[in-house]
Amino acid sequence: MIIILKSGHTQSQLDEVKLIVEKHQCEPILIKGTFKTTVNVLGDDTQIDADLFRQLAGVEEVIRIAAPYRLASRTFKKEDTTINIKGVTYGPGHFVIMGGPCAVESEDQTYRIARAVKKAGANVLRGGAYKPRTSPYAFQGMGEDGLKILRAVSDETGLPVITEALDSKSLEMVYKYGDIIQVGTRNMQNFSLLKEVSKLDKPVMIKRGMSSTIDEWLLAAEYVLAGGNHQVMLCERGIRSFDARYTRNVIDLGAVPVAKALSHLPVVVDPSHGSGRKENVIPMSLASLAVGADSILVDVHDDATKALCDGPQALTPPEFEGLVKKLHRVASALDIKIKG
């Protein structure tokens, strides 16, 4: 249950609401928006009579949400959420192109690729400094040194940077150096990490767990929203299926309009991790824009055979440039702006 207070409500009117919530062994979580204050009732609220709140002078509306998630749902917030970061806008009417290496490998490699993606028209730089690898023998990322490189390259190119945090320690570093925090597919249900992210004031992109349902994905977002961070994006990155030979994962493009109907949060697609092979990346990127995604996250490498991570799915800079040109044509047909 969510209780929306009237604007200009008094502290004692808010206290009345809290008292009723607490009397029912639930916890009132206060969410202060730009215009309205909302009380999110945590706990088993099924036994609370909503009219107890409706009759209070300070209450504007009481919403019971049937979906398991609340703050992430369209029932709670009808308008699309817009996220602004250093001049880049995720939200209606915009399409954000994020590109860069899967992993930061060196200062030189990151500068080269960042300049190339910027020239091609990318809006945001991607790059991992902490890599969640299936094998413990695979390259694990450059850690803080990698983040320092990303920060310097981001400042030089003017492209905000998105980078992944794996745990509390790396989250501290990613928060310090990055602009957008990425929670990867393997950590989508790392609830303690989500709670930590929820306390930060930087945007977060939550990748869908490779075997997670749409509800579970939205509940992961709910953790971050409920903790007070409202700058949340969802990212479809492919789910597991029975035939991974040609596509690595199955990009669930059908999940994009579904997530956008169920939720107000921006939806990103990662066609690189989603399809695993570069020949699939361009068609799936165009399809992502056409199906209503707000952004794509694309792996780009200028020497993919030597890439330390995910070379087969990386576009070369010229291929990426070709993709951006095609995206502009699809975007203009859909009246969507791509900045850059």
Judged by CB, which is closer to ligand PEP: 19, or 138?
Answer: 138
Site string for ligand PEP, 228-267 (x = CB under 6 A): ---------x------------------------------
Out of 28, 128, 209, 340, the only residue in the binding site for ligand PEP (CB under 6 A) is 128
Least Å distance, CB 98 to ligand PEP, is 10
Out of 110, 185, 285, 288, the only residue in the binding site for ligand PEP (CB under 6 A) is 185
| Angle CA 71–269–262, to nearest 5 | 30
Q: Please, which residues have CB within 8 angstroms of residue 7's CB and are 6 or more apart in sequence? A: 35, 36
Out of 94, 207, 260, 278, the only residue in the binding site for ligand PEP (CB under 6 A) is 207
Q: Binding to ligand PEP by residue 141, rule CB under 6 A?
A: no
Containing 116, the helix (H) or strand (E) segment is: helix 107-120
Q: Please, which residues have CB within 8 angstroms of residue 38's CB and are 6 or more apart in sequence? A: 2, 3, 4, 5, 30, 31
Out of 273, 278, 301, 328, the only residue in the binding site for ligand PEP (CB under 6 A) is 273
Identify the CA nearest to 180 among candidates 247, 91, 43, 86: 86
Site of interaction with Mn ion (CB under 5 A): 102, 310
Tell me the C-alpha distance between 182 and 190, whole Å.
Answer: 13
Q: Binding to ligand PEP by residue 143, rule CB under 6 A?
A: no
What is the biggest distance separating any 2 CA atoms in the chain, rounded to whole angstroms?
A: 67
> How big is the site for ligand PEP, counted in residues (CB under 6 A)?
10
**Contacting positions for ligand PEP (CB under 6 A):** 102, 128, 132, 164, 184-185, 207, 237, 270, 273
